[in-house]
């Protein structure tokens, strides 16, 4: 029996880091953000539909989606956000399912930043939900270290995302990844959880 795990958490909480430890432990990790980026990169399958819906000015000279322009558009207009999601979500879903169908490992970890925000749509596809949680101050500090990010931009994303309590309420397990937790300890927590959830037969555990 293959276990499907939904992994989520706020921006900068440490999802990708935790996903990496699952991968190290032998699980297949499916990164829905990477899938989404691929759909809107140069030659991406979603670009014709996006250009038809929003106009060709949203596509840059190199053929990729103009992310800054798109972000500004959906930030200002909830209807535009819905129209974009109506294009992207079915495509992300199809690619996610294709990758999951091709997986041969006993655990599949779906890295889904907005799993909680998506409601039942994602909850129904997985046996377990794992939330990576940390203090907002820690999120801010991590995100502001990234090139091009300001405190205001990071705070705006945090405000748009689900509240920490909402996320925790959906969780089968919570990994608290606050400042001061070493990566070595975080890794051990992931491996212990994999074992607790019966994914202990995957390579690298036990
Ligand atoms: P996003 O939502 O933006 O994709 P994320 O939740 O995937 O972010 P990560 O990219 O895993 O978060 O972590 C954010 C940054 O914080 C990374 O640079 C990562 O290396 C660092 N980080 C995460 N957890 C720890 C930790 N316990 N100790 C040290 N650094 C950490």
- The share of the chain scoring above pLDDT 90, in percent, equals 86
Q: Nearest residue CA, atom 12 of ligand 1? A: 14
167: CB partners within 8 A, 6+ apart: 8, 9, 10, 116, 131, 133
Shared domain for 49 and 121, answered yes or no, is: no
Six-digit token pair at 178?
């606050």
pLDDT tens digits for range 30-58 = 999 999 999 999 999 999 999 999 999 99
Strand order across the beta sheet in which 173-176 lies: 28-31, 107-111, 3-9, 128-133, 173-176
Shared domain for 86 and 51, answered yes or no, is: yes
pLDDT at 166: 96
Shared domain for 164 and 111, answered yes or no, is: yes
Shared domain for 119 and 147, answered yes or no, is: yes
Q: How far is the CA of 17 from the centre of ligand 1 (A)?
A: 6
Shared domain for 17 and 78, answered yes or no, is: no
Shared domain for 138 and 154, answered yes or no, is: yes
pLDDT at 205: 46
Ligand 1 pocket member 186 (CB < 6 A): yes
Shared domain for 121 and 52, answered yes or no, is: no
pLDDT at 119: 84
pLDDT at 204: 46
198: CB partners within 8 A, 6+ apart: 3
3-state secondary structure of 44: coil
Say if 155 falls within a structural domain: yes
Mean pLDDT of the chain: 93
Is the pLDDT assigned to residue 135 strictly greater than 80?
Answer: yes
pLDDT at 201: 54
Say if 206 falls within a structural domain: no
Sort residue 9 into left (φ over 0), alpha (ψ -120 to 50) or beta.
Answer: left
Which residues are documented as binding site for ATP? 12-17
CA Rg, the chain, in Å?
18
Q: How far apart are CA 101 and CA 95, in angstroms?
A: 10
Q: How far is the CA of 143 from the centre of ligand 1 (A)?
A: 8
Which residues are documented as binding site? 12-17
Shared domain for 39 and 138, answered yes or no, is: no
pLDDT tens digits for range 61-100 = 999 999 989 989 988 898 999 999 999 999 999 999 999 9
Phi, psi of 195, deg, nearest 5: -70, -45
Q: How far apart are CA 106 and CA 128, in angstroms?
A: 14
The predicted model gives 191-202 an average pLDDT of: 82
pLDDT at 200: 60
Is the pLDDT assigned to residue 203 strictly greater than 70?
Answer: no
Say if 46 falls within a structural domain: yes
Say if 163 falls within a structural domain: yes
Ligand 1 pocket member 189 (CB < 6 A): no
Ligand 1 pocket member 17 (CB < 6 A): yes
Q: How far is CA 188 from CA 15, 66, 131, in A?
A: 15, 40, 16
Q: How far apart are CA 200 and CA 30, in angstroms?
A: 19
Final residue belonging to a domain, choices 87, 104, 121: 104
Ligand 1 pocket member 203 (CB < 6 A): no
Predicted TM-score (pTM) of the model is 0.92
Shared domain for 123 and 83, answered yes or no, is: no
Final residue belonging to a domain, choices 104, 133, 161: 104
Shared domain for 53 and 17, answered yes or no, is: no
Domain count, the chain: 2
Ligand 1 pocket member 22 (CB < 6 A): no
Q: Are 113 and 32 in contact (CB under 8 A)?
A: yes
Shared domain for 20 and 42, answered yes or no, is: no
Ligand 1 pocket member 111 (CB < 6 A): no
Shared domain for 13 and 112, answered yes or no, is: yes
Say if 95 falls within a structural domain: yes
| Complex ipTM value | 0.98
Say if 153 falls within a structural domain: yes
Taking the CA of residue 134 as reference, the ligand 1 atom at the shortest distance is 24
Ligand 1 pocket member 183 (CB < 6 A): yes
Q: Nearest residue CA, atom 23 of ligand 1? A: 14
Q: How far is the CA of 156 from the centre of ligand 1 (A)?
A: 18
- Beta strands in 80-172, from DSSP E residues, in sequence order: 107-111, 128-133
Q: How far apart are CA 5 and CA 170, in angstroms?
A: 13
Domain that holds residue 180: 1-27+107-200
CATH of the domain at 134: 3.40.50.300
């Amino acid at each position: 029996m293959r276990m499907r795990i939904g992994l989520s958490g706020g921006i900068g909480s440490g999802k990708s880091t935790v996903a990496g430890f699952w991968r190290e432990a032998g699980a297949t990790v499916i990164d829905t953000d990477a899938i989404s980026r691929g759909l809107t990169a140069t030659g991406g399958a979603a670009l014709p539909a996006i250009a038809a819906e929003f106009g060709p000015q949203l596509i840059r000279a190199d053929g990729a989606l103009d992310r800054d322009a798109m972000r500004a558009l959906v930030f200002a207009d909830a209807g535009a956000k819905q129209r974009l999601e109506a294009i992207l979500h079915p495509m992300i879903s199809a690619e996610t399912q294709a990758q999951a169908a091709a997986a041969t490992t006993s655990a599949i970890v779906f890295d889904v930043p907005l799993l909680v925000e998506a409601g039942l749509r994602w909850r129904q596809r997985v046996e377990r939900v794992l939330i990576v949680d940390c203090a907002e101050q820690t999120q801010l500090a991590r995100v502001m270290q990234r090139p091009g990010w300001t405190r205001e931009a990071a705070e705006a994303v945090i405000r748009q995302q689900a509240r920490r309590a909402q996320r925790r309420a959906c969780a089968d397990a919570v990994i608290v990844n606050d400042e001061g937790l070493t990566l070595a300890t975080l890794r051990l927590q992931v491996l212990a959880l994999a074992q607790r959830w019966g994914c202990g037969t995957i390579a690298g555990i036990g």
